[in-house]
Amino acid sequence: MGILTSGGDCPGLNAAIRSVAKAALNRYGMKVIGIMDGFRGLVENRTVLLDDRAVSGILNLGGTFLGTSRDKPQKMLMGGRKLDMTETAVQNLRKLQIDCLVCLGGGGTQKNALHLHKEGGVNVLTLPKTIDNDVAGTDTSFGFDTAMGIGAEAIDRLHTTATSHHRIIVCEVMGHNAGWLALGAGIAGGADAILIPEIPYDPAVVAEHLLDRRRSGKRFSIIAVAEGAVSRAGAKARAKENDSRKGRKKDRNGDEEQDGVSPVREPMASRLARELQQLTGTEARVTSLGHVQRGGSPSSADRLLCTLLGTRAAELLAAGTYNVMVAARGGRAVPVALEKIAGLRKVVPPDHDWIKSARMVDTCMGDRA
Ligand code: F6P
């Protein structure tokens, strides 16, 4: 088997590589080849033979020792041009005599793996990874629990300084299209308002909530905001903009990708903090957690999930079950046809119990519900 990690990294990737490889090597006597830097390493034929020693001692290590990239085989920047490198990827897998390619990644990776299967006849098997928790077909993805814990701890810490200074602190949490991380960390950290992409917010509603708190004697407030959250006015403008920039790879700050390198992103929460300071007359500060949430050691829950999903992956490979994602469902690891979930995104449903519970403990979700 070949194994690669693709898309943004997250805590738990090494634990997942370890569990797939250890079970495949020791239990089933397979040969395991690590592919460097995601699909780019596959196209450029950069590999490393993995034995038991190579995958030992990495359970608790953050990142991915194989390296990762956001490249896709069907549209890869090569010598300044974006080319379809699917055929090269398939040929390289043949040369390496790889019977099945195991891909660890998020939503994009599920699509790329299915593409290799459909266009190149490659046997693939995937595991759901992402701190955003937005992979469809699985209850959760590894990396999410760790990132949520980091977010909650940050919000805890912000509480003490916000209280001392009687300030508003806006804490930006990752999650471009899905609000799971901001919602989970916000509830666990006791944020007073939680703003997620699924519920466009009204700054006046948030400000009113903060003023209510002040009137009741609470002189500080913490807002957990997902990086992809938008105001109601912003949501309309964004829809228009998306129409006019179809096909062009522009960043949310309006900057374009240069030679395959995506632009540096500014925290989006600064604008919200300025607005809230103006509307409430209370001093505001901004903290953007950014990649801190993707770094460091995985939580115990993530290590456990990686081991469960990874060993099940090896078991499925040994049985010749391919073209599936190993999903977490009801505490078990089950195969789900890639065809059914690739291209779908799991966002927070507006009637989700987490949202209901947040509202019931007086957390403002930025709307008038
Ligand atoms: O895919 C996970 C994620 O961390 C998102 O939450 C975030 O928008 C994005 O990756 C950041 O990507 P990059 O590391 O490429 O800046």
For the stretch 343-363, pLDDT in tens is 999 999 999 999 999 999 999
Question: What is the structure's pLDDT at 262?
Answer: 83
Q: Which residue has the least CA distance to atom 14 on ligand 1? A: 8
For ligand 1, the distance from its centroid to the CA atom of residue 90, given in whole angstroms, is 28
Same fold, 2-143+298-330 and 147-243+262-293+349-360: yes
For ligand 1, the distance from its centroid to the CA atom of residue 184, given in whole angstroms, is 17
Question: Which of 323, 320, 363 has the alpha carbon at shortest distance from 339?
Answer: 323
- The 3-state DSSP class for residue 261 equals strand
Question: What is the structure's pLDDT at 246?
Answer: 59
For ligand 1, the distance from its centroid to the CA atom of residue 25, given in whole angstroms, is 32
pLDDT tens digits along 143-181: 999 999 999 999 999 999 999 999 999 999 999 999 999
Q: Which residue has the least CA distance to atom 5 on ligand 1? A: 175
Question: What is the structure's pLDDT at 250?
Answer: 56
Check whether 209 has a pLDDT greater than 80: yes
Question: Which of 214, 208, 217, 226 has the alpha carbon at shortest distance from 355?
Answer: 226
Question: What is the structure's pLDDT at 268?
Answer: 85
User: What does CATH list as the number for 2-143+298-330?
Assistant: 3.40.50.450
- Return the amino acid letter for 3: I
Check whether 107 has a pLDDT greater than 90: yes
Check whether 63 has a pLDDT greater than 60: yes
Q: How far apart are CA 79 and CA 66, in angstroms?
A: 23
- The average pLDDT across 213-232 equals 97
What is the atom index within ligand 1 of the atom nearest the CA of 70? 15
Question: What is the structure's pLDDT at 256?
Answer: 73
Q: Which helix (H) or strand (E) holds 282?
A: none
Please list every protein residue whose CB sits less than 6 Å from any atom of ligand 1. Answer: 8, 106, 130-132, 174-176, 227, 294
Ligand 1 mutation pick, 71, 72, 131, 148, max ligand atoms within 8 A of CB: 131
Q: Which residue has the least CA distance to atom 11 on ligand 1? A: 8
- The average pLDDT across 302-310 equals 98
What is the atom index within ligand 1 of the atom nearest the CA of 228? 8
- The average pLDDT across 281-294 equals 97
**Number of other CB atoms surrounding residue 123 within 10 Å:** 18
For ligand 1, the distance from its centroid to the CA atom of residue 209, given in whole angstroms, is 30
pLDDT tens digits along 38-57: 999 999 999 999 999 999 99
Question: What is the structure's pLDDT at 258?
Answer: 78
Contacts of 50 (CB under 8 A, 6+ apart): 3, 17, 21, 25, 32, 33, 34
What DSSP line would sit under 210-260, residue for residue? HHHHHHTT---EEEEEETT--BHHHHHHHHHHHHHTTTS-B-TTSPBPBTT
Question: Which of 132, 283, 144, 270 has the alpha carbon at shortest distance from 196?
Answer: 132
Ligand 1 mutation pick, 130, 134, 176, max ligand atoms within 8 A of CB: 176
pLDDT tens digits along 311-325: 999 999 999 999 999
Check whether 259 has a pLDDT greater than 80: no
Give the rounded percent of residues in the chain with a pLDDT score beyond 90. Answer: 90
Angle between helices 107-120 and 86-95 (to 10 degrees): 80
- The average pLDDT across 128-133 equals 98
**Number of other CB atoms surrounding residue 129 within 10 Å:** 32
Domain 147-243+262-293+349-360 of CATH type 3.40.30.10: no
Question: What is the structure's pLDDT at 24?
Answer: 98
pLDDT tens digits along 229-250: 999 998 888 777 766 655 555 5
Contacts of 48 (CB under 8 A, 6+ apart): 33, 34, 36, 54, 66
Residue 132 designated active-site: yes
Question: What is the structure's pLDDT at 242?
Answer: 67
Check whether 299 has a pLDDT greater than 60: yes
Q: Tokens 């004697």 — which residue?
A: 217
Q: What is the mean pLDDT of the chain?
A: 95
Question: What is the structure's pLDDT at 253?
Answer: 56
Check whether 37 has a pLDDT greater than 80: yes
The domain locations on the chain are 2-143+298-330, 147-243+262-293+349-360
Question: What is the structure's pLDDT at 214?
Answer: 97
Question: What is the structure's pLDDT at 5?
Answer: 98
pLDDT tens digits along 328-345: 999 999 999 999 999 999
Q: How far apart are CA 241 and CA 287, in angstroms?
A: 27
Which two three-digit tokens encode residue 188? 């666990």
Which two three-digit tokens encode residue 102? 């195991």
Which two three-digit tokens encode residue 314? 């090896």
For ligand 1, the distance from its centroid to the CA atom of residue 2, given in whole angstroms, is 25
Q: Choose the catalytic residue: 37, 71, 132, 145.
A: 132
Q: How far apart are CA 305 and CA 12, in angstroms?
A: 9
Q: Which residue has the least CA distance to atom 15 on ligand 1? A: 8
